[in-house]
Homo-oligomer: A and B are copies of this chain.
Amino acid sequence: MPQLPLSPGSTLGILGGGQLGRMLSQAASRLGFDVVILDPQPDCPAARVSRAQITAPYNDPDALQALGRLCDVVTFEFENVPASSVETLAEAGALVAPGPTALAVAQDRVDEKTYLNAVGAVTADFAAVATLDDLTKAIDKLGLPAVLKTRREGYDGKGQVWIRDAADAEAAFDAIGRRPAVLEAAAVFNRELSVIAARGHDGVVAVYPLGENIHANGVLKTNLAPAAVDAKTQARAVEIAAAVLDGLDYVGVMGIELFDMGDGVLLVNEVAPRVHNTGHWTQDGCVCDQFEQHVRAIVGWPLGPTEAHARIEMTNLLGDEIDQWRALAAEPNARLHLYGKHEARAGRKMAHVNRVLGAA
């Protein structure tokens, strides 16, 4: 294992070469680190701003061995990293952050919710579902409407379906391929918030101001930060973040989606053990953005400040919305962040724009 803090000139590896890997790489290079990307897609967005790419599947043992040998520390842009890949990287001599425990918990919705409730980060009521019979019992217990989600590998609204009538239970179970699932009670919340938090190897936790999220078709559309919340709500978010990160001995940045139930009560919707779309506002709202913060955490540098100096409205540009670049380039306070994806498939995240609304 390399000695911390890592010096500039050390090499950082990233599993995943999409926009999150790209923006992590850009932040790492600002701090003088070299970056190597592992991604099966040749010439991926992150590779084009990094020192090198290893083009191979994420579970390719030889590729992981090579990455682990090249890099002092390896991190991820997504949570569905096989535990075996993490082991291979560690065996090859790389520090891996965040660690396997955090990944394992985040990969299974039932394990995740069980963990969250155990550390006092309360979620909506839920029940594990393995069979149609489980589902029927779960509906009786939780009531309707409720949302049925696969335990593993769901994101951006994929692998989940709402059930409003008990008669639709089997159709819903079929719709998610009768895979192991979790039924979640509908939380009647005022709005969805999210908080970006970081924890260092030394256990220090730093939490950004809450942001408010607006989704469209299950995909984040807009994020407003800092959100207009009372001190009690922000304080509760900090409490939740500290409990969740400490409990996992977490190292790096985590995105935590929350339901605002009012009066300072927050339910955790889900957590992502990585930099998060709802943290993009920090690039133009804070002096140390979530990407630099993640790099600082994993290389053992002190965490950066999390205060906001500007109010930001972050909007994702999906698919051919990227064609708006001409108009956006002419908007003085629209800060554009493009991902270098050449094919604008429908719904694909192509870029985001941070609109500076004013001083925080």
For the complex of A and B, the 9 pairs showing the least CB-CB separation, nearest first, are A32-B338, A48-B51, A305-B332, A302-B330, A301-B329, A29-B49, A8-B338, A9-B342, A49-B49
| Minimal Cβ-Cβ distance residue in B for A9 | B342
Bound complex: CA A337 to CA B340 (Å)? 23
- A296 CB contacts on chain B under 8 angstroms: 329
8 chain-A/chain-B pairs, Cβ below 8 angstroms: A5-B326, A8-B351, A22-B29, A30-B338, A49-B50, A296-B329, A302-B330, A309-B309
> Contact check: which of B25, B26, B51, B325 meets A8 at CB < 8 Å?
B325
Q: How far does the alpha carbon of A34 sit from the alpha carbon of B49 in the complex, in Å?
A: 8
Interface residues of A in 277-317 (CB under 8 A from B): 284, 287-288, 296, 301-302, 304-305, 309-310
Measured between beta carbons, the chain B residues less than 8 angstroms from A322 are 8
Q: How far is the CB of A339 from chain B (nearest CB, A)?
A: 7
In the complex, A356 has a CB within 8 A of chain B: yes
- Chain B residue nearest in CB terms to A351: B32
**A287-B284, A335-B287, A359-B309 known; A340+B34 contact, CB < 8 A:** yes
Q: Which of B34, B309, B333, B338 contacts A48 (CB under 8 A)?
A: B34
Q: Which of A327-351 contact B (CB under 8 A)?
A: 329-330, 332-333, 335-340, 342, 351
* Chain B residue, CB-CB nearest to A337: B30
- A333 near B31 with CB under 8 A, answer no
Cβ–Cβ < 8 Å partners of A26 in chain B: 26, 29-30, 49
CB of A7 closer than 8 Å to a CB of B: yes
* Chain B residues whose CB sits within 8 angstroms of the CB of A48 once the complex forms: 29, 34, 50-51
| A23-50 interface bits toward B, Cβ cutoff 8 Å, 1 = contact, 0 = none | 0011001111110000000000000111
Q: Indicate the member of A5, A9, A288, A337 with the most B CB atoms within 10 Å.
A: A9
The CA of A76 and the CA of B34, in the complex, are separated in Å by: 23
Beyond A9-B340, A33-B340, list 12 extra A-B contacts (CB 8 Å). A8-B338, A9-B342, A26-B30, A29-B48, A30-B336, A31-B338, A32-B338, A284-B287, A287-B333, A287-B356, A304-B332, A305-B333
Given A48-B51, A49-B50, A322-B8: A32 touches B339 (CB 8 Å cut-off) = yes
A183 CB, min distance to chain B CBs, angstroms: 41
**In the complex, which residues of chain B have a beta carbon less than 8 angstroms from the beta carbon of A335?**
287-288
The smallest beta-carbon distance between A316 and chain B, in angstroms, is 14
Please, what's the 1-or-0 string for A208-239, where 1 marks a CB less than 8 Å from any CB in chain B? 00000000000000000000000000000000
Closest Cβ of chain B to A350, distance in Å, is 9
Q: Compute how far the CA of A51 lies from the CA of B47 in the bound complex, rounded to whole angstroms.
A: 7
Most chain B C-beta atoms within 10 Å of own C-beta, residue among A5, A287, A302, A322: A287
